[in-house]
Amino acid sequence: MKFGVVIFPGSNCDFDTFHVLKNVIQQPTTWLWHKDHGLQGVDCVVLPGGFAYGDYLRSGAIARFSPLMQEVGEFADKGGVVLGICNGFQVLLELGLLPGAMLRNKNLKFLCQFVTIRLENEGTRFTHKGKKGQVLRVPIAHFDGNYFAPPETLKEIEENSQVVFRYSGANGSLTEEANVNGSLHSIAGLMNKRGNVMGLMPHPERASERLLGSEDGRVIFESIISKF
Amino acid sequence: MKVRILVSFKDSVLDPQGQTVKNALHTLGYRAIKDVRQGKVFEIDLAGATKADAEKIIPEISDKVLANPIIEKFTWQIIEA
């Protein structure tokens, strides 16, 4: 499976993501510069973490107008697989490929720490190698990860089982304390209705090697490359 | 022509920054302050534009770029003809 990692000015998890896809998951991986045209025949586009365009105005707000992002939108419309990590998730929300928006974390602090998230839906191309209820230990690093959607949108998301991950305790319990950034319904990861686009705030690419303290994030990449 | 656009959170959206400012003001003794909502102000210079141009352009750019309609609302006014 061929991966493309998009680079925006201000991306800073692009190299980590590229490294994990190429060297850990061992898949052909290419760079996609945000101003270029053409997705170079990739099967999966990954929008990495960082601060695209400095996150001026709102996180992800300017990045969505990059020339390449229009093509990523068309790619997703045709069923192409798109994964947005952290800032990449914010870009997908601003682009409208995923429903809702991000607000500042409830405690108004930049949160940089390990969290635990519970896998909610194992019937997706991003998680089918995992088990529902499984708890992953993965890091977060963001200022705007407080997920918001109007009540009718939230209802639709839940009814369609679009919530892929929720912030939870290490035992899988959903508590206010575990919901570190204040996200509605403790949402940490979300996919579109069709199931080909997913965004998540935690960084699976920073938790894919034992050396870095956790390998729990690998299940996402391993699911993507396996037959679904 | 100069236009001022005010973008703020919708009433249904929690504004933790506004809440923090409110709490600080309470600490300073301004007990009468019931609520604070924080927003963003954009001052835009429109070269050679008429009022009709502004009425077309400003809501368009506000909806498309300056505000995120899922969480934010906007108002605008002409501040210099």
ipTM: 0.85
Determine the Cα–Cα distance for residues A190 and A163; give it in Å rounded to an integer. 5
Residue extents of the structural domains in chain B: 2-80
Is A205 in the active site? yes
Q: Does B64 touch chain A (CB under 8 A)?
A: no
The confidence score (pLDDT) of residue A112 equals 97
pLDDT (tens, 9 = 90+) of chain A, 228 residues, equals: 999 999 999 999 999 999 999 999 999 999 999 999 999 999 999 999 999 988 889 999 999 999 999 999 999 999 999 999 999 999 999 999 999 999 999 999 999 999 999 999 999 999 999 999 999 999 999 999 999 999 999 999 999 999 999 999 999 999 999 999 999 999 999 999 999 999 999 999 999 999 999 999 999 999 999 998
Q: Does B41 touch chain A (CB under 8 A)?
A: no
Positive or negative torsion for Cα A147, B11, B46, B54? positive
Nearest-by-Cβ selection for B71 from A57, A65, A148: A148
The confidence score (pLDDT) of residue A5 equals 98
Predicted model pTM: 0.94
Closest C-alpha among A216, A202, A183 to residue A84: A202
Contact A108 B20 (CB under 8 A): yes
| Contact by Cβ (8 Å): A89, A139 | no
The residue in chain B having the minimum alpha-carbon distance to the alpha carbon of residue A149 is: B70
Give the structural domain span for A123.
3-225
- CATH number of the domain bearing residue A30: 3.40.50.880
Q: Does B75 touch chain A (CB under 8 A)?
A: no
Q: What is the CATH number of domain B2-80?
A: 3.30.1280.10
| Contact by Cβ (8 Å): A45, A82 | yes
Determine the Cα–Cα distance for residues A137 and A132; give it in Å rounded to an integer. 15
Determine the Cα–Cα distance for residues A70 and B8; give it in Å rounded to an integer. 28
3-class SS of residue B50: coil
- Write out the two tokens for A156: 């639709």
Q: What is the DSSP letter of B73?
A: E
Contact A106 B16 (CB under 8 A): yes
- Write out the two tokens for A157: 């998301």
Q: Does B70 touch chain A (CB under 8 A)?
A: yes
Q: Tell me the H-state helices in B1-81.
A: 16-27, 51-61
- Write out the two tokens for B74: 């906007």
The residue in chain A having the minimum alpha-carbon distance to the alpha carbon of residue B66 is: A57
Contacts 24+ apart (CB under 8 A), A60-64: A60/A87, A60/A90, A60/A91, A60/A92, A60/A93, A60/A94, A60/A95, A60/A102, A61/A94, A61/B65, A61/B68, A63/A8, A63/A34, A63/A87, A63/A91, A63/A94, A64/A91, A64/A94, A64/A95
Closest C-alpha among A188, A174, A191, A12 to residue A105: A188
- Write out the two tokens for A72: 């990523």
Contact A148 B17 (CB under 8 A): no
- Which residue out of A86, A94, A120, A142 is catalytically annotated? A86
Q: Which residues of A touch B36 (CB under 8 A)?
A: none
Q: Which of A53, A58, A108 to mutate to test the interface with B (most CBs of B within 10 A)?
A: A58
- Write out the two tokens for A160: 């369609």
Q: pLDDT digit string (tens) for B6-52?
A: 999 999 998 988 999 999 999 999 999 999 999 999 999 999 999 99
CB-based contacts of A216: which residues, under 8 Å, 6+ apart?
A: A136, A137, A138, A204, A207
Contact A108 B17 (CB under 8 A): yes
Contact B70 A58 (CB under 8 A): no
With cut-offs at 50, 70 and 90, classify the pLDDT of residue B4: very high
The residue in chain B having the minimum alpha-carbon distance to the alpha carbon of residue A144 is: B16
Q: Does A94 touch chain B (CB under 8 A)?
A: yes
Q: Does A79 touch chain B (CB under 8 A)?
A: no
- Write out the two tokens for B40: 């963003």
Determine the Cα–Cα distance for residues A29 and A24; give it in Å rounded to an integer. 11
CA-to-CA separations, B64 to A51, A120, B7, B57, B69, in angstroms, rounded: 20, 33, 13, 11, 8
Provide the number of structural domains found in chain A: 1
Q: What is the DSSP letter of B13?
A: S
Determine the Cα–Cα distance for residues A134 and A119; give it in Å rounded to an integer. 5
